[in-house]
A and B are shown apart, each in its own frame.
Chain A
């Protein structure tokens, strides 16, 4: 039923030969084919930010990105950021409660501090407004981003 087209997907420094069906999203590929379940899917239609990954450093919603459109761009998921100082900063600041949105928050925050290592309040609000947290960890998410290098 589906036409297949092989791709060479670059994820967290590794390369994967894959043959996904047309229409498969990057999130599905990461989670189901590569077992990288750190990337969460909470709405599957690009509204909540839980599935955020970086494509060449740019935060991108993997649930509405077709895997065939990724091309040669490097995909960075939370698994590729496990040793990023933001991870321990989030834990230290208690910037997570249930934790389901947290990988997406950290991926977005990592892209932010890459471009602006000392983001101010407005910058953090702007860069992080696409990552919903229903538990309401926002004040501490901001604190974690402000103190990520401590």
Chain B
């Protein structure tokens, strides 16, 4: 039955209260024990299409008469367009239409960051459109940019009010502490660089706008486009069958979609607007830089008495201030806490969600600081974390729907024990060490999300839902869930997704929510179809429904009867069994979070500052695991992105003009296959029985969260040097080593004064 509830909805750590119609989740968890499909490794159901180059991505869509767009972007961080004349460009070969700030609300006359879109041209080929950009007559009044986040906060240039979180009393926490550590951490701006650039192809068909787009949120794009063009929602059809990565940067429609739609409207032809790699690195969002001024205090026994943090997010010209203080607020039981988070408005490109925004950065600071505090008290870092374990939610005291972080710590022990042997490898300038860091994040998903299951006369099943698979393997997971529920082998299941006109609403693929939001809906739809199948079988064989179940492609009865399901579905001929399912409500009064720990082993050349990450063990608690093979790939991918974040990736700006110096992939250093350590993945795989009928949480984001702190802590273990900023360039490594040497030199002088 449908039920109207007032509920908290969470995406990427942002909560909103809203009315929502949910259907009760009536299914019990699957019985404990091994399953036939779910929990077993499965190759991707769309792997062959992708590997053979047959999968059609948005980048591969070619429509007859399609035009291509080139966008004039501001070369200045802050400027005013004093003169703009598109007429000469419009006369150039192949050019069919132009747009300026008067024609589209996404084009601006007063750009506030380098790469802000000012004008757009559509031509028969991209080369023609780009060539014509040179003919645009434009004059700029260049203005002084604001680039320093601290200065922005001091001047009141913010994207939102400062957000403060307090518990207990800072004074009490200070008074109770036997040891206090304090440090300033900095993290850099990181660029997503999904390999498929942001793009959309827009084509009008009568009064319907078809949008082919590389997106993480088909339904969000539908609603944004409908609003922009003042259309009814169902007059916009959004299609994304295969998607070449997003990592948070493709949660929204983006200016390129609106430009393509408007140019298509004006020309009556399909229009592609695809960003170049350089535009990707200018204007599609980023993980914003942060400054974190942190303090932690503990009693001699390791009990935390105090955590305080002042966080400055260098948000950019617009965007939102992610919860960089979140890990400090949520990870450890600590009675006295104060966090203040600022969001600086700057003349740099707006940020965008990037795989656990805020928590990746905040965990680096917090987990490095906690390790320093443990070292100061001479307490084992793993033990320190156990002593400050949070048994209920620290923000409002709610119980967790499930939490197995202690089990993660237990499984961390053998990896942590390797430290003695790893340290013993040190030789010459190379020092080896081991470090660890914990992970906390959201990932429970929520309603609404819907799925249909179609069971045909041939006994084959199609799962229909207008969700997207952004490369995480969610299509495969949905097929596994339906196969499990219907007792069918995986190869009898198709999954039809990626088209708002061909399936019901599905949630965003962000915030580690696809499987926890969609999976229970798919299971409910499959169960509905299965129930109908059993009803028919019961009538056919004159048996009671309760003695029948589905297994291995058969309908089996308690007394030993077994009939292939085709013998029942075949009775339908052209008829079909249609099941429908919805994601039920989240458990009332509970907090759903994901947890984990990573242990890194590194080597550091103390003469050159070279760092080698040799091994990372990752243990995460994300509820039930649907596909262990795909899950291990997610973990590896998160860690490898984390290694890039830790060691090599950084958007560099000209400090005077704000120009982006790292627009190309030779300047912006992504990890390659040669940068990858040994990675060991362990998942706790305990269903969260309170959460949904599936008990799965999301895994997209957790693995990237603790990597940088684990590496930095391993570096301290190896060398005694305290890392303070990311990426850990050779400069930063050598600075930290120098500081450590000076510190130990001073200590020697204190301990052994010259007589």
Chain A residues within CB distance 8 Å of chain B: 1, 23, 31-32, 35-45, 47-48, 50, 77-79, 82, 87-88, 90-92, 94, 96-103, 106, 124-126, 128-142
Contact = CB atoms under 8 A, between A and B. Distances in A.
B670 A132 contact: yes
B244 interface: yes
A91 B636 CA distance: 16
B196 A131 contact: no
B666 interface: yes
A40 B471 contact: no
Contact of B53 (A39, A129, A130): A39
Interface stretch (B254-262, B323-331, B416-424, B637-645): B637-645
Given A94-B630, A134-B192, A134-B641, 6 more contacts: A48-B665, A78-B52, A97-B633, A103-B51, A135-B471, A140-B633
A48 B633 contact: no
Contacts of A128: 672-673
A136 B245 contact: no
Contact of A124 (B196, B629, B641, B673): B673
B636 A102 contact: no
B670 A141 contact: no
Interface of B: 43-44, 46-48, 50-57, 59-60, 62, 93, 127, 192-197, 242-245, 247, 276-277, 470-473, 629-630, 632-634, 636-641, 664-666, 670-674, 676, 679
A129 B471 CA distance: 21
Contact of A97 (B57, B127, B471): B471
A42 B278 CA distance: 11
Contact of A79 (B53, B633, B670): B53
Contact of A129 (B57, B59, B629, B673): B673
Given A43-B665, A98-B243, A99-B244, A136 B671 contact: yes
Contact of B633 (A43, A132, A137): A137
Contacts, number: 168
Contacts of B194: 98, 100, 134
12 contacts: A23-B127, A47-B664, A78-B52, A96-B47, A100-B194, A125-B674, A129-B672, A129-B674, A132-B670, A134-B245, A136-B641, A136-B671
A143 B253 CA distance: 37
A36 B247 CA distance: 27
A140 B245 contact: no
A38 B664 contact: no
B93 A41 contact: no
Nearest to B476: A94
A97 B748 CA distance: 53
A138 B676 contact: yes
B48 A100 contact: no
Contact of A139 (B243, B472, B629, B676): B676
Contacts of B51: 87, 90-91, 96, 99, 102-103, 106
Contact of B59 (A41, A82, A102, A136): A41
A100 to B, nearest CB: 3
Contacts of A126: 674
A139 B636 contact: yes
A130 B665 CA distance: 11
A32 B666 contact: no
A129 B638 CA distance: 19
A94 B50 CA distance: 11
Nearest to B54: A38
Nearest to A141: B673
Contact of A37 (B60, B630, B640): B60
A79 B43 CA distance: 21
B678 to A, nearest CB: 8
Contacts of B245: 97-98, 100, 134-135
B673 A142 contact: yes
B244 A91 contact: no
Contacts of B57: 40, 100
A1 B125 CA distance: 14
Closest 4 CB pairs of A and B: A38-B53, A98-B471, A99-B50, A136-B640
